[in-house]
Every structure is written in C-alpha cells, then in structure tokens.
Amino acid sequence: MLQINYIKQNVSAVKEGLALKNFINFSLVDELIALDEEIRKLKSNTENLQASINITSKEIGALMAKGNAEEATAKRNDVATLKEDLGIKKNALQKIEEDFTNKILLLPNLPHSSVLPGKTPEENVTVLSGGTIPELPENAKPHWDLIKEYDLVNFEVGAKLTGSGFPVYKGRGAKLQRALIQYFLDYNTAAGYTEYMPPLMVNEQTAYGTGQLPDKEGQMYHVTEDKLYLIPTAEVPVTNIYSNEIVKENDMPIKMTAYTPCFRREAGSFGSDVRGLNRVHQFDKVEIIQLVHPDKSYEVLEEMANHIERLLQFLELPYRLLKLCGGDMSFASALTYDFEVFSAAQKKWLEVSSVSNFETFQTNRMKIRYKDEDGKTQLLHSLNGSSLALPRIVAALLENNQQEDGIHLPKTLHQYFGAAKIEKV
RNA sequence: AGAGAGGUGUCCGAGUGGUUGAAGGAGCACGCCUGGAAAGUGUGUAUGCGGGAAACUGCAUCGAGGGUUCGAAUCCCUUCCUCUCUGCCA
C-alpha cells in the first residue's frame, strides 16, 4: 500500500511511476488527495468535539462528587447536543475513510527508478545468462514423456484423486522432490537464512498483508467454512511472522527460508504453458525472504539474485536472468528479476524464480517497523525470491540430462538423491 | 467438540463505572555514589494519527469489533486466542 503523504508530496512522480506499471487511472490519485484533505478536516472536527465532551464529562464527575446535581444535569444536556453532532460527523468520516482505503488499495507499488517501460513479457531485458544449453539428439523427449517412461510422476492418478494439475510423485520421482527440497534448504541455511515451517493456510488479514488480497483473490483456494486461504507461496505466512512488530535495528537483516507446498488456482491458464510440470495447481517451493533496512534493500536484492544464481550453477542448468519491465511486474513489486532455465527438449525458457524488492509496500500493510537514530518509527523493506520452485527445475533436469542409460543428475544432488542417475526401468 | 478460568505496557502484576494511559515490581536507558564493579540511589522508559519551530498539546488504543452511559480497562453482546478438565484423535 502506498503512503498518502508520499503521494501528496510527489504527485507527478507517482503518476509517472503508475504509468510505467500500466496503471493510467490518474484521476484516482487526485481523488485520493482530495479525500485525504476531507478526512483531515473532518477528523480534527470530530476530535475537537470529542475533546469538549471529554472535558465536560470530567466536570460532571466533579460536580457529582460535590453533590451538585442540578448543574450536573445541565451539563449532561450540553453533552447530549454535542454527541448528536458528533455522531453525524463520525458517520460521515467513517464512510469517507472506507472509500479512501478501498481506493488506495487499488494503487500498485511504484517501480524503482531503474525499471524500464514495457507492457509485455517480450519487453523484459536479459541481464545475464550462464550454463550451457545441451545438444540433445533428435529423439530427445520432453519431460512429460520422461516422467512416464521412468515412472516418476503420475498426473492421471492425481486427476482421479483431486483434479488436473495435482501431480502424484512416485518412487524416485518422490525422492527427487525430497532431495531437492533438502538441498535447497541446506543451501539457504548455510547462507544465514533461518528455516521456518509455517502453516499452509492463512487468515484474511495475513493474505492481505503481503498483497494477495484484495488483488489476487481469485488465484487462491479459499476454505470458506473457516475463512482461510491456502497459501500460494511461503512468502505469505513467513513475511507476516513479523507483522505488527517493531524490530530492533541490530536484528536486521532478518533472513528467513521455508519449504512449503504452494496452491494456485491458475484461473485462465491454457495451452502448452500448462503441459506436464510447466504449470500445476500444487507444487513445492523453497522460498527466501528478507526484511531489511531501507538503505540496504537494493544491495540485498542483488545479493539474493547472486545466491539464486549460484544455486542454478550448482544444478548445472542453463539459465538467464531477466529484469522485468514495468508492465510485467507484480502489483506489489518495485523491482523484479526473474530467473529462467532452459528446458532443452521442449526448447523453452521456464521461470523458476522471481526475486523482488517490495520496498515498503508490504511492510506498510503489515506494520513491520524499526526505530531510527532519532527514535522515529520507520518501515522496513521486504524482499523475497524462490530458491527454488521445483516442478520446472525437475522438468529441465530431466530433459537436459537424458542420456541412453538414464538421467544423469548434477554432482551436487548425488548425495541427496542417493544415486548419480535415474536408471531406466 | 463440551464445561470452566483468563487475555492489562518489554515482562510480571494491581485495578469491577469518574484526573487510570493505567498503581507496584522487574527489566532497560541516563545520572549520582565507587579506584572499578555489585549493591544503593535519582530520573526517564508504549503505539498510531493530528496541531506546534519547540516546550508542549488534542484524539484513539487495557486481545479484536460493537453496545449501554454525561463518563468504560471496569457493565452487556459478538468474535479470536490461551490455560485447565472431559471427549475425540495423528
């Protein structure tokens, strides 16, 4: 959520930023400023009324104590008049405030000054790349064939149990999941991230904190009976661990990692994007999250990107890093990098990690703050990134490493998987 | 799931309608005392929003939301959470 004081002081910069994010309803900005003025006026109005009521009430108390009932009654009547007036004004204030809140929630975060314009994924910029794309023979198979051939993942059974997009991992397929999760967590904790295991369902307040609500309501599974949402990413519960906290300056940066399944309705997806493991409703992901001093957040963003890049190097996958253009960034993000790996048989770049700096957009909603040297309360910056999302990593690992005698796993996984390759059955 | 008890500041803890934003204690910060430390001692020590150059000041907040009242931490309703017992259960 943007801060109204900032908006008021930087109207044109705000509008430019919104334009970069393809948000062109500028009149909303002007409307918000006008509403804020109105709220201020009404507020001081009601507060003054309340102040005189408070004073008179104390006077009544004093008069009662003295036994001066007559004067007390007179004062009571005064208060009654004031209260009537106050009631009307308070109602008006409440309505305007609601209106204001609903409207300011519609504003996306402003992009960082380095974000380039653009409306579609095609306009993202490749910042760097690494690894080598393997030369596969003509008959190389896409992962959806390999998982059948090696009996690793069964979509049909998943569809029977739940529905499409809920894979059942089996045997070595299941073990590969477990190995990857274990490896990713070890890699993250070695870098100073504290491991968490959060709940997989969150309440409304928590979903609102990281920006899933009200923006992405339809993308989450909703347990209506208990008013809970299945988490679309560990970011939601884990970032909220510090909601409504004032953290000590020495405790920054806060570095957290968590493995969770992620649940996404993916309404509106179709075509080859959803083939095999490319897009599913339930998948495993290890996430890294940092809460940092605002001066450090962009430094930390680079650090997190480096951290993820090294992980992809250990996995020996060909990768590239994209800097997202304004129009392709998420609602809450100020700057986002996407890591993609090349899945050599389907000849496709697949997004496996998204690293973002949200600046104060989330922390403002969650009220995650610290005290600066002057004793003033300031918002932290929040960042997160996947390290990593499993299904597409698995897709690329299977496709890129397929050989005559089986799928050769990268060295770093041998110990975790308990074997150097997945043999043919 | 049923019955009961309870949720107060960083922590413990008092407070059942009227200078209570909240006693007392601990902790913490600064000062005094000390060769240094401990002990002792003095002062200070919540958050949000608004006004003010500042001193300071207004409003709100005693789990959350609503209500009664001139006035609520205190009374009523709703809701969440914690604990104890019973039930159920991995």
This model of the complex carries an ipTM of 0.85
Residue A114: DSSP 8-state: T
**A50 CA vs B22 C1’ separation (Å):** 20
Average pLDDT for A108-128? 95
Distance CA A119, CA A127 (A): 18
The answer, yes or no, to whether residue A267 has pLDDT greater than 80, is: no
CB A69 within 8 A of CB A8: no
Highest mean pLDDT among A55-64, A72-81, A83-92, A168-177: A168-177
CA of A83 to C1' of B10 (A): 38
Domain ranges in chain A with CATH number 3.30.930.10: 121-423
Give residue-wise pLDDT tens across range A323-375: 999 999 999 999 999 999 999 999 999 999 999 999 999 999 988 888 777 77
pLDDT value for A129: 96
Q: Given this model, what pLDDT does residue A78 score?
A: 85
The count of residues in chain A is 425
Q: Which nucleotide is nearest to A376 (CA to C1')?
A: B47
SS (H, E, C) A269-280: CCHHHHCCCCCC
| Per-residue pLDDT, A385 | 98
- The pLDDT value given to residue A227: 85
Gap from A185 CA to B54 C1', in Å?
A: 53
- Residue A70 pLDDT: 83
What's the Å distance between residue A291 CA and nucleotide B89 C1'?
39
Backbone angles phi, psi at A369, to 5 degrees: -135, 165
- Helices A297-314, A172-190: inter-axial angle, 10-degree rounding: 140
Q: Which nucleotide minimizes the distance between its C1' and the CA of A54?
A: B71
Residue A66 to residue A408: CA distance in whole angstroms: 92
Q: Name the nucleotide with the smallest C1'–CA separation from A43.
A: B50
pLDDT digits 0-9 by tens, A181-191: 999 999 999 99
* Per-residue confidence (pLDDT) for residue A272, from 0 to 100: 66
β-sheet bridge partners, residue A371: A377
Q: How many secondary structure helices (H) and strands (E) does chain A include?
A: 13, 19
Whether A120 has a pLDDT exceeding 70, the answer reads yes
The residues of the protein lying within 7 Å (CB) of strand B read: A 5, 40, 43-44, 47-48, 50-51, 53-58, 60-61, 64, 76, 79-80, 83, 246, 369, 371, 377
pLDDT at A196 > cutoff 80: yes
As given in the structure block, the two tokens for residue A23 are 């948000």
The nucleotides of chain B lying under 7 Å from a protein CB are: 18-19, 47-51, 58-60, 70-71
pLDDT band at A268 (very low <50, low <70, confident <90, very high): low
Token pair for A92: 């008006």
Does the pLDDT of residue A411 top 90, yes or no? yes
Distance CA A142, CA A399 (A): 6
pLDDT reported for residue A67: 77
Q: Which two tokens stand for residue A20?
A: 């970069």
The spacing between the Cα labelled CA in A242 and the C1' in B11, in angstroms, equals 20
CATH number for A121-423 (one of 3.30.930.10, 3.30.70.100, 3.40.640.10, 3.30.360.10): it is 3.30.930.10
Instruction: In chain A, list all ranges with CATH 1.10.287.40.
Output: 4-104
Taking only the tens place, the pLDDT of each residue in A204-259 is: 889 988 988 888 888 999 988 888 899 999 999 999 998 888 887 778 899 999 99
- Whether CATH 1.10.287.40 fits A4-104: yes
- Residue whose structure tokens are 């036994």: A67
Please say whether the beta carbons of A143 and A398 come within 8 A: yes
pLDDT digits (tens, 9 = 90+) for A284-319: 999 999 999 999 999 999 999 999 999 999 999 999
Question: At A381, is the secondary structure helix, strand, or coil?
Answer: strand
